[in-house]
């Protein structure tokens, strides 16, 4: 298993025998997108109160 991080220490990529999972973050280091090996995505949005 291999891991990659951005300059803020956020996990941006995880690789293993099944493929690569990618993570994206907003300027406040909050997770915004997770892309799985099959290219399906989970997207998060935020309001002033938190995640939606």
Has residue 14 been placed in a domain?
Answer: yes
Higher pLDDT, 52 or 44: 44
Torsion of CA 42, 49, 4, 39, to 10 degrees: 10
Has residue 52 been placed in a domain?
Answer: no
pLDDT, residue 48, reads: 85
Torsion of CA 51, 28, 34, 44, to 10 degrees: 20
pTM for this model (two decimals):
0.85
Domain with 22, as residue range(s), is 2-47
Structural domain total, the chain: 1
Q: What are 13-42's pLDDT values in tens digits? A: 999 999 999 999 999 999 999 999 999 999
Place of tokens 């997108």: 33
Q: What are 5-14's pLDDT values in tens digits? A: 999 999 999 9
pLDDT, residue 49, reads: 82
């Amino acid at each position: 298993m291999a891991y990659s991080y951005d300059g803020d220490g956020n996990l941006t990529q995880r690789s293993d025998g099944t493929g690569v999972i990618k993570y994206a973050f907003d300027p406040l280091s909050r997770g915004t997108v997770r892309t799985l090996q099959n290219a399906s995505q989970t997207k998060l949005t935020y309001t002033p109160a938190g995640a939606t």
